[in-house]
Chains A and B, each alone.
Chain A
Amino acid sequence: MTAIPAIAVEPEIQSTRTSRHVLNVILRDPLSLISTIVIILFILIGVFAYQVAPFPKEGAGKTNVPNSLLSPSLAHPFGTDKLGRDVLSRVIVGARPALIVPMGVVLFAVLIGAPLGAIAGYKGGWIDEVIMRITDLFLAFPSLLLAMAIASALGRGLQNAAIALVVSWWPWYTRLTRGVTISLKERYFVEAAQAIGVRDSIIILRHILPNTISAILVQATVDLGTVILAMGGLAFLGLGTQPPSPDWGLMISDGRTYILEQWWISTFPGLAIFVIVLAFNMVGDTLRDIFDPRQYR
């Protein structure tokens, strides 16, 4: 009799333990702590872009040609671009498509990929076969190349670029969640739930998915860097955000013609991408040292 309650609470115990564990590790490692602060800061800047930006209208695209190509100064710490717009303001407003949207992309990729992976792993048999073969097909393409082709077919624009990235990235989460699910399936709490006749859908929803979260979270942190780079790439090519709206990738591409003299137009948005991706990679590295999601692949 004593064993049953212990089995029943096992998932809960595990999830609180890991989340506190994660927090501890991040707080103790100075680099991860700084990275986390940088990430939070960038997100806040993105969310409150129009409140923070010194020239919010120029940030959104309003031109101010008399100020064309000013070098960095107190009034314009990052200088101005060809159309006289404050580069700092544009970097700040550009955080929305370049950082906030990729976060949404990863969220949607998880929401599509994880349930499919859990179903495939839990059910096995032909359902597993069908889901995984489709997943494999998507994984047969270099992800960014697939996203480029989809974005082009859907038509240029931020929303379509985001959809293209979701379509290219969900299979990675299906594969990961399936692996975790297969290892969870053998655990007592799942077998116990099966034994007392809990429906499969409830088991997947209540017992399997909550326990895949830590692995997915680690993978998502690592992926966020990659997806930000991919979004930057799409924008750089002209498949993402359309002018006059700002986007880091697009700004780099815009400033390319002036790179040898007016270096600031491309350099600062590029620095923004580099710093945020570096921060995500640092945190991702630390998390991966605790629990390696690749062990389930």
Chain B
Amino acid sequence: MRRLEFLLRRLLTSIFVLIGVSIITFALARVIPSNAAALYIGPKARPEDIARVTIKLGLDKPLPVQYFIYMRDLLHGDLGTSIGTKRPVLQELAGRLPATLELLISGMALAVVIGVPMGVLSARWQGKPMDVFVRTISIIGVSMPAFYLGLLLQIFFFRRLDLLPLAGRFSNALRFTNPINPVTNFLLLDALIGKNWIALKDVAIHLVLPAITLAAYPSGLVARMTRATMLEVMEQDYIRTARAYGVRETVIVYLYALKNAISPTLTVIGLTVAYALTGTFFVEIIFNWPGLGLFTVHSLLNVDYPAIMGITLYGATMYVIINLAVDLIQAWIDPRISLK
């Protein structure tokens, strides 16, 4: 019962947050730019065109009415038309989303796979060379701008070692030799579904550098958080008791302590998604990855406000959903949370 109540309360809060997010997004796009209609037409706008477009876009109506219309359209899946491409924003975003999500998921998975063990090792050997090593790596990870790390990796792995591809999602030749049959547009999955092993390998090696670039910052944060919580847990009485009983240190660390350190680590993973969401834009620009990144930059530089609204909504919604998911997983792992 408690859990159901917690779930409903949490869902309700998220919905309110999303409504608030839509208000801020709306304000950003409609209130701050001085003349949205002129922006819509472009630099050569004549006064009569501006008047016509103002009415067409409903910009002559009072702001609350404009917001209402915007929300109504939004709930019908209409995010407006991109000024830059003259195509529906939803279509623009949907077409590019799979590439971005594939990068985001790989990067975050990599961050967890690297970050958690690093944090555990660091806590296990606190003060020892291993700890110093891990802490150095993780602080470098959180201090390096993604758009710089990406370039360095390109210089090293492409130019110097000629080991990994420079950019893109797959080799150009692949289109002709082993074309991937699009099912989900997640190329790794599609290649797997089509049992297209050559394509799978090609897509995978193209993903390596972008995923590492994206993962650097989150993995550093995750490692630091895991270390801190592990050290806290290791001070607990039950760990001391286990030690007194002569339980082996490895069992204590990996079985008892890690289990109890997972919950705070999850919170950090949720928070780092916020970073990774914007991080993908930078990584995509560096690696010429055909996701939301380039479209976003174009929209931002040209004040393509319907597109910017769509992108901001996507970012905030993803963030809210992921944090909701983290909370629910935590409540499921640790029933005490839903009692708060």
Using CB atoms and an 8 Å cutoff, list the residues of chain A in contact with chain B: 133, 136-138, 140-146, 148-156, 225, 229, 232-233, 236-239, 249, 252-253, 256, 259-260, 263, 266-267, 270, 273-274, 277-278, 281-282, 285
Using CB atoms and an 8 Å cutoff, list the residues of chain B in contact with chain A: 17-18, 20-21, 23-25, 28-29, 32-33, 139-140, 142-145, 147-148, 151-152, 154-155, 158-159, 274-275, 277-278, 281-282, 285-286, 296-297, 299-301, 303, 305, 308, 311-312, 315-316, 319-320
A140, A156, A273: the one within 8 Å of B17 (CB): A140
Extra 9 A-B pairs, beta carbons < 8 Å, given A153-B305, A267-B151, A273-B148: A137-B17, A142-B275, A149-B25, A153-B33, A252-B148, A253-B147, A266-B148, A266-B151, A277-B145
- On whether the beta carbons of B24 and A137 are closer than 8 Å, the reply is yes
Assembled-state Cα–Cα distance A161/B32 (Å): 14
Chain A positions within 8 Å of B142 at CB level: 225, 281
**Which B residue's beta carbon lies closest to that of A275?**
B143
Chain A positions within 8 Å of B20 at CB level: 133, 136-137, 140
**Which A residue's beta carbon lies closest to that of B19?**
A137
Known interface pairs A153-B33, A229-B145. Does A278 touch B151 (Cβ–Cβ under 8 Å)? no
Assembled-state Cα–Cα distance A144/B20 (Å): 18
- On whether the beta carbons of B282 and A236 are closer than 8 Å, the reply is yes
A152, A154, A266, A273: the one within 8 Å of B301 (CB): A152
Known interface pairs A141-B319, A260-B159. Does A152 touch B286 (Cβ–Cβ under 8 Å)? no
- On whether the beta carbons of B145 and A232 are closer than 8 Å, the reply is yes
Assembled-state Cα–Cα distance A142/B21 (Å): 11
- On whether the beta carbons of A144 and B301 are closer than 8 Å, the reply is no
A141, A238, A278: the one within 8 Å of B312 (CB): A141
Known interface pairs A150-B28, A236-B147. Does A141 touch B300 (Cβ–Cβ under 8 Å)? no
- On whether the beta carbons of B316 and A142 are closer than 8 Å, the reply is yes
In this complex, the member of B21, B278, B297, B299 whose beta carbon has the largest number of chain A beta carbons within 10 angstroms is B278
Assembled-state Cα–Cα distance A141/B17 (Å): 10
Assembled-state Cα–Cα distance A233/B18 (Å): 26
- On whether the beta carbons of B140 and A278 are closer than 8 Å, the reply is yes
Assembled-state Cα–Cα distance A192/B20 (Å): 40
**Which B residue's beta carbon lies closest to that of A133?**
B20
Closest beta carbon of chain A to B19's beta carbon, Å: 9
Assembled-state Cα–Cα distance A260/B139 (Å): 27
- On whether the beta carbons of B282 and A145 are closer than 8 Å, the reply is no
- On whether the beta carbons of B278 and A144 are closer than 8 Å, the reply is yes
**Which A residue's beta carbon lies closest to that of B139?**
A281
- On whether the beta carbons of A238 and B278 are closer than 8 Å, the reply is no
Chain B positions within 8 Å of A154 at CB level: 32
Known interface pairs A153-B33, A270-B145, A274-B148. Does A259 touch B319 (Cβ–Cβ under 8 Å)? no
B32, B148, B159, B277: the one within 8 Å of A145 (CB): B277
A133, A141, A274, A282: the one within 8 Å of B145 (CB): A274
- On whether the beta carbons of A256 and B151 are closer than 8 Å, the reply is yes
Assembled-state Cα–Cα distance A224/B316 (Å): 23
Assembled-state Cα–Cα distance A148/B285 (Å): 15
- On whether the beta carbons of B143 and A281 are closer than 8 Å, the reply is yes
- On whether the beta carbons of A153 and B139 are closer than 8 Å, the reply is no
Assembled-state Cα–Cα distance A273/B308 (Å): 28
- On whether the beta carbons of B315 and A145 are closer than 8 Å, the reply is yes
Assembled-state Cα–Cα distance A155/B301 (Å): 8
Closest beta carbon of chain A to B83's beta carbon, Å: 12
Chain A positions within 8 Å of B144 at CB level: 274, 277
B18, B33, B151, B299: the one within 8 Å of A252 (CB): B151
- On whether the beta carbons of B320 and A239 are closer than 8 Å, the reply is no
Chain B positions within 8 Å of A150 at CB level: 28, 32
